[in-house]
Amino acid sequence: MAITAQMVKELREGTGAGMMDCKKALVEAEGNIERAVDILREKGLSKAAKKADRVAAEGLVTIEMNEDNTIASMVEVNSETDFVAKNEDFKTFVKDAAKMALATAKEDVEGLLSETHAEGIALSEVLNNRIATIGEKLDLRRFVKVTTEGQIAGYIHGAGKIGVLVEMKTASKDAEVITMGRDIAMQVAAMNPKYVSRNDIDQEYIAHETEILTQQALNEGKPANIVEKMIKGRLEKQLKEVCLLEQPFVKNPDLTIKQLVAETAKKVDAEIEVVRVVRFEVGEGIAKKEENFAEEVAKQLK
């Protein structure tokens, strides 16, 4: 029976085991997922399997960069508790994963997990060993690798809670460019803009926001003949909030990010264009499990 990526994904989500371990188990079980679960348990991955239904929404984001700032990687690894995110073994695993992401040609998590770790085994096996040792569900959730002929700046906020990479198209290798890029990365961490520039805004977003702003104005009782002018003004204000280059610079609100880039370009005598930003925030989009502390204590006392 052909083993599909969906089957591997389903088994991984149901057991917490690594991608390659899941694939091998499915091959051995001839596609029978229940049997594959048993195989994983038989191979000593039951601790990971027992934790599969838990929510891992804490963790760390880490960045690795090459020496000339032309290649960068960023990974997010999740844990169940913030306490584990401060564990040295966990921190080491996240850093190792980021280094491997910097070196790999693989483009997805499954591929990265299949790479050989410095311990001589697959990264997925190292992850499962950490699960068994640390005693929590851990998940290498995502990674990104950015390569450019220009420069890349990175910033980690809140001891690893938010990570940002900023890719800049430029011929300059001046340190001023990296300093500016890091300031912009800090801006992205704080303000979380939807777009880099107005050129990136899709028409669906414009249409959706125009519809909402129009209804708001009508609900306020504004005359229909002035609503259109109002909408243009309000939409313009909103676009300045969601576009990075239009935002006031947090370190100097008298400047926009676009003006900051222009000033730096003049200093280094080279053109600079911010072409891409990537922002990871630990646990974003993961529904965290609500715990009642009193109930939890009561359970432990029974």
Q: What is the pLDDT of residue 42?
A: 66
pLDDT (average), residues 61-70: 97
Domain with CATH 3.30.479.20 in the chain: 54-146
Task: For residue 297, name the pLDDT band (cuts at 50, 70, 90).
Answer: very low
Say whether pLDDT at 300 is over 50: no
Exposed, middle or buried, 176 (CB in 10 Å: 0-12/13-18/19+)? middle
Q: Which long-range contacts (CB under 8 A, 24 or more apart) does 229-232 make?
A: none
Q: Which CATH code fits 54-146?
A: 3.30.479.20
What is the pTM for the complete model shown? 0.75
pLDDT in tens, 164-189: 999 999 999 999 999 999 999 999 99
pLDDT in tens, 229-276: 788 888 888 888 889 999 999 999 999 999 999 999 999 999 999 999
Chain centre distance of CA 64:
14
Q: Which fold has domain 5-50?
A: Helicase, Ruva Protein; domain 3 (1.10.8)
Exposed, middle or buried, 158 (CB in 10 Å: 0-12/13-18/19+)? exposed
Say whether pLDDT at 88 is over 50: yes
Say whether pLDDT at 296 is over 60: no
Task: For residue 118, name the pLDDT band (cuts at 50, 70, 90).
Answer: very high
CB 20 within 8 A of CB 3: no
Higher pLDDT, 5 or 44: 5
Task: For residue 293, name the pLDDT band (cuts at 50, 70, 90).
Answer: very low
User: What percent of the chain stands above pLDDT 90?
Assistant: 53
Task: For residue 223, name the pLDDT band (cuts at 50, 70, 90).
Answer: confident
Say whether pLDDT at 102 is over 50: yes
CB 133 within 8 A of CB 87: no
Tokens of residue 138, six digits: 């851990």
Higher pLDDT, 93 or 9: 93
Say whether pLDDT at 110 is over 80: yes
Task: For residue 287, name the pLDDT band (cuts at 50, 70, 90).
Answer: low
